[in-house]
Amino acid sequence: MPAPQCRVCRRRTAEYTCPRCNARYCSLDCYRDHSERCTEGFYRDAAVSELRSITAGQDERQHMVDILQRLHQQEVEGGGSSDEGGEDAEDVEEEGGLSNATLHLLLAKMQAAGGVLDVGEQDLTPSELAAFHRALAAGELSAGLQPWQPWWLSEEAMQLELGAAGTSLMAAVSVDEQPRQQQQPHGTSDAAATGSVLPAPPSRPLPRLAALTRAPPSPLLQHQLLDLLYAYCHTLRLYNGEPLCDVEAAADALFALSAVLAAVMQAPAAGGGSGSDSMDAVAPALLACLQRASQPPVGDRDSRGFAIGVLSDVTAVLRLGRPVVLTALMDLSRLLEAARQQLDDGSGQADGGGSGSKQQRKHLRRRLVAAERKLLFFLAWANEQPPEAYDHLAMAAAAEQQKHAAAAVAATGQRPAGAAQPGLLDLSGGTAGSSRGAAAAVLIEELP
């Protein structure tokens, strides 16, 4: 089958697909030229996602509250002297870049919400929103983000055990007998608040792979698993652990990152291929992941360091073996399900943001349904893989991460940012079983 041609320049091979309109393109320049609506939507979604993911620390919140209360007190008392008012106005302009009118509106909004300050795009004037976009593009907002601790680096992940059918053998409970695992995608308020609560593993027994297909599975399914895990880890880090804040945009990111979900990768032939051939395919599979993560609509060349760092997350998930791999795939499936449910409820954006027009939303829903079916197949397949399969994939992924990180250091002189810190996991060696260290004792409740 001949390689598709770029729809824009019609000169080169199209290596990428726009997740909004499905147009094939070959480069960043062609992506920018193929559709003004798609590119504007991408930058708008990026700005909105950044707004929603920013969580101020206690000091920053108190600082903003002090500014708002000072302005409010001045208005109550008649504004104070002109000199003081001028100094305060200059302080506010320098500190936050917001007008007094906007600050007063935010103060009223905070008081109505019981002291909680939640700033959205609609709260800013066009000039203030433009200033925010400039700060976003310059990377000036990253210092305001509280770093998110991925669940796969937690002690709970090291303790996780699942039965032969992929479901929990036991559930960890607190003293008040409330289950700690939530039957919902990661990134909800309960999970995000602690940064260590695991997403729920499969709640029902997984089907046998033989019940889904008569053909023997191809060994090359292993590198498609890498594709899925990379897209999942990248998306959760991209949204700072809260993909549900804009679930349709998160689904778009997943389709842009995963060739498996986007169905642009041909399924490997059933059977055929050896184990060594499969391991040889790891390098090009992960290289393709890095290329997609470093291209619009997800990223650009400047984000390659972050993309390389996500390989450490993939390694961490694989080192913990079948239970954590199944939990990640199940959480990915629930995230896509949440996007589909939002489309069905009609609660998504329909004004050019999010998934765009009605036709585009209908197309997105079909892709979501197909992706959920694929993930059911991969859950059944991954549940039947032996521990050594995950060990080999983890070692291969770790080697690729080190290779690309060394190349990035040689090219830029800086180590790639965004890499998963070993912390609770020893990424230097060991098997999926040996990666599970001793953890604090918890009360357990066996499930029937």
Burial of 226 (0-12, 13-18, 19+ CB in 10 A): buried
Task: Give the percent of the chain with pLDDT over 70.
Answer: 58
| CA–CA distance, 326 with 160 (Å, rounded to integer) | 11
Pairing of strands 16-17, 24-25: antiparallel
* Residue 226 three-state SS: helix
Which pLDDT score, from 0 to 100, does residue 258 have? 95
Distances (CA, A) of 332 to 137, 254, 270, 335: 28, 9, 25, 5
Q: Are 372 and 311 in contact (CB under 8 A)?
A: no
Structure confidence at residue 33 as a pLDDT band (50, 70, 90): confident
Comparing 312 with 120, which gets the higher pLDDT? 312
Comparing 300 with 60, which gets the higher pLDDT? 300
Which pLDDT score, from 0 to 100, does residue 97 have? 55
Token output for 306: 């972050």
Structure confidence at residue 5 as a pLDDT band (50, 70, 90): confident
| CA–CA distance, 319 with 439 (Å, rounded to integer) | 17
Q: What average pLDDT does the segment 184-210 reach?
A: 70
- pTM for the whole structure: 0.63
Comparing 433 with 141, which gets the higher pLDDT? 141
Give per-residue pLDDT as tens, 257-281. Answer: 999 998 744 444 444 444 455 567 8
pLDDT at 110 over 80: no
Which pLDDT score, from 0 to 100, does residue 10 have? 86
Give per-residue pLDDT as tens, 338-361. Answer: 999 998 887 444 444 444 577 888
Q: Which of 52-61, 167-176, 422-431 has the lowest mean pLDDT?
A: 422-431
Q: Which of 90-104, 137-151, 215-229 has the lowest mean pLDDT?
A: 90-104
pLDDT at 146 over 50: yes
CB count within 10 Å of CB 318 equals 28
User: Helices 322-345 and 387-412, interaxial angle, to 10°?
Assistant: 80
Averaging pLDDT over each range in 144-153, 163-172, 212-221, 437-446, which range is the top one? 212-221
User: Helices 358-383 and 247-257, interaxial angle, to 10°?
Assistant: 60
Distances (CA, A) of 168 to 42, 172, 183, 184, 205: 39, 10, 12, 15, 10
Which pLDDT score, from 0 to 100, does residue 51 have? 56
Comparing 204 with 148, which gets the higher pLDDT? 204
Which pLDDT score, from 0 to 100, does residue 349 have? 46
Averaging pLDDT over each range in 57-71, 84-98, 127-141, 291-305, which range is the top one? 291-305
Token output for 222: 């292993």
| CA–CA distance, 344 with 368 (Å, rounded to integer) | 12
Average pLDDT in the chain:
74
Q: Are 225 and 238 in contact (CB under 8 A)?
A: no
Q: What backbone torsions phi and psi does residue 173 show, to the nearest 5 degrees?
A: -130, 155
Residue ranges of domains in the chain = 56-144, 151-446
Which pLDDT score, from 0 to 100, does residue 429 have? 41
Task: Give the percent of the chain with pLDDT over 90.
Answer: 34
Structure confidence at residue 140 as a pLDDT band (50, 70, 90): low
- Range 28-35, long-range pairs (CB < 8 A, 24+ positions): 28/295, 28/296, 28/300, 30/6, 31/295, 31/296, 31/297, 32/296, 33/8, 34/7, 34/8
Which pLDDT score, from 0 to 100, does residue 442 have? 33
Q: What average pLDDT does the segment 252-256 reach?
A: 94
Our measurement of the distance from residue 173's CA atom to the centroid of its chain's CA atoms, rounded to an integer in Å, reads 27
Structure confidence at residue 73 as a pLDDT band (50, 70, 90): low
Q: Where are the alpha helices (DSSP H) in 138-183?
A: 155-159
pLDDT at 405 over 50: yes
Which pLDDT score, from 0 to 100, does residue 234 have? 97
Give per-residue pLDDT as tens, 313-339. Answer: 999 999 999 999 999 999 999 999 999
Give per-residue pLDDT as tens, 211-228. Answer: 998 888 888 899 899 999
Which pLDDT score, from 0 to 100, does residue 430 have? 43
Contacts of 125 (CB under 8 A, 6+ apart): 99, 102
Token output for 260: 């498996």
pLDDT at 60 over 50: yes
